[in-house]
Amino acid sequence: MPSIKAAVCHAFGEPLTIEEVSLRAPQMGEVEVELHAVAICHSDISFADGAWGGSLPAVYGHEAAGRITALGDGVRGLSLGDPVVVTLIRACAQCPSCGEGRPTGCETPYDGDHGPLQTLDGGKLHQAMACGAFAEKVVVDQSQLVKIPEGMAMDAASLLACGVITGVGAVVNAAQLRAGQDVVVIGAGGVGLNAIQGARIAGARRIVAVDMSEDKLDAAMEFGATDGVLATGKTPWRDAKAAIGRGADAVFVTVGAAGAYDIAPRYLAGGGKVIMVGMPATGAESRYEAANFAAVSQSMVGSKMGNVVIRRDIPWMIDLYDQGRLKLDELISNRWSLNEINEAIADTKSGSARRNVIVLKD
C-alpha cells in the first residue's frame, strides 16, 4: 500500500507524532481525497485527550477539504479532480435513521480499526470518526463528501465539514427557529459563533451570547449577537432575560461542560427549548428539576452535527457565503503546517482561537 504522512495519537493526552502510514486504495463506494486543509475541532482534542475513550493508535481529524484523486467501484456523482468537503457523516442510506432523513444518526456501525489505514508494518491504525483527516490523504465513503465550487478556498470550505454545519444546523434544523424568536447562545467559540450567525440568518429578534471572555463576546457581536453577557456574573440568566425582555425561545449550549447544561434551563421562556450541542466527557452528569419542564412545556433537544443532510445543507450555506451572508474566512484564527499540529492544538486549547486550520497543500 502507498504511504502518506499523518499525525498519529499513540497515547491519550500525549503529543501527536508525524509519521508515515499506509493508506489502501478505495474499495466499493469509497473515494480517495488529497487533502488541502483540515481544521482542528474540539472533538478531535477531546478524543485525543481520552475524554470519550476510543481505540489507539489513531489518526484524528474530521473537518477537511481537498480534491478527489481516486474512485472505487460504484461511486456516483463524483469525478476525479472534483473539489470536495470531507465530513464525518457516514450514512448507509438503508437503516431507519437514514430512511427518515436523519443521516447524522445512521445506525450502521463503522469499525475504524479495520478501515483504510494501517501502520507501515501492517499493524492496526484506527481511522477516527470515519475520517482520519490529520493526514495528507483520506479514503472515505462517498456519502461523506459534498462537491464545492471550483475556486472556493479550501481552508474556508473545510469549516463546512463540522463547525459551521453544527452551529447553523442546530438553529435551522434542531431548533427550527422562526423569525422574531429570541435566542441565547452559551459559548462563543467556533460552534457558538456559527449558532449566532445561524440565528441571525434565521431572523431572530434578540441573540444573546454568554461567555466567560470579554474578547469572545466582542467576537459574538461581529457575527450577529445583539447582546453579550458574562458567564462569570452571579446570575447571568437574569442579565440575559433583561436584555431580551423575557426568557429565550431557544438556548443553545455549544460548550462541552456539564455545568453549562445545569444552568441552561434558567434562560428559557415558557415553551422554550434547550438545544444540546456541546458534548461533555463520558460520565459527566447534569441535574434538572423535571417538574419545571413539564409545568411550562419546555424541552431539551439533542443536536448532533446540526441534524444536517450534507448534500442538502452545505450547498445553501456555500451560497450564503458567496452572498456575504455567512462568515467563513472570519472564523479562521491561524493557519499551520501538519508539522505544527501540536502547537495548533495547544493554541486551540488556550481558548483564544476560533478555528485553527492545518494547510496541507496550496
**59 and 127 Cβ atoms separated by less than 8 Å:** yes
Res 278 pLDDT > 80 = yes
Least confident of 8-22, 240-254, 286-300: 286-300
Q: Provide the 10 A C-beta neighbour count for residue 340.
A: 16
CATH 3.90.180.10 residue window(s) in the chain = 3-161+327-359
Identify the CATH homologous superfamily for domain 168-304: NAD(P)-binding Rossmann-like Domain (3.40.50.720)
The beta-strand segments (E) located in 233-293 are 248-253, 268-276
Q: Each residue of 158-204: pLDDT tens digit?
A: 999 999 999 999 999 999 999 999 999 999 999 999 999 999 999 99
Backbone angles phi, psi at 21, to 5 degrees: -130, 170
Res 1 pLDDT > 80 = no
The domain over range 3-161+327-359 is classified in CATH as 3.40.50.300: no
**284 and 262 Cβ atoms separated by less than 8 Å:** no
Res 58 pLDDT > 90 = yes
Q: What is the mean pLDDT of the chain?
A: 96
**13 and 49 Cβ atoms separated by less than 8 Å:** yes
Torsion sign across C-alpha atoms 24, 25, 31, 35 = positive
Torsion sign across C-alpha atoms 41, 45, 48, 51 = negative
Res 57 pLDDT > 90 = yes
Percent with pLDDT over 90 in the chain: 95
Question: With bands split at pLDDT 50, 70 and 90, how would you rate the model's confidence at 362?
Answer: confident
DSSP state of 124: B
- Name the residue with higher pLDDT: 235 or 292: 235
Cis previous bond, 57, omega within 30: yes
Question: With bands split at pLDDT 50, 70 and 90, how would you rate the model's confidence at 288?
Answer: confident
- Region 74-81: mean pLDDT is 97
Read off the amino acid at residue 66. G
Cell readout for 39 is 481544521
Res 156 pLDDT > 90 = yes
Give the distance from CA 33 to its chain's centroid: 20
Question: With bands split at pLDDT 50, 70 and 90, how would you rate the model's confidence at 348?
Answer: very high
- Region 46-57: mean pLDDT is 94
Residues pairing with 252 in the sheet = 185, 275
Q: What pLDDT sits at residue 352?
A: 81
- Region 32-60: mean pLDDT is 95
- Region 323-336: mean pLDDT is 97
Task: Let me know the angle formed at the C-alpha of 54 by 48 and 57, rounded to the nearest 5 degrees.
Answer: 65
Cell readout for 220 is 459574538
Q: What pLDDT sits at residue 88?
A: 97
The model's pTM is 0.95
- Region 67-81: mean pLDDT is 98
CATH 3.40.50.720 residue window(s) in the chain = 168-304
| Number of Cα atoms under 13 Å in the Cβ half of residue 59 | 34
- Region 34-57: mean pLDDT is 95
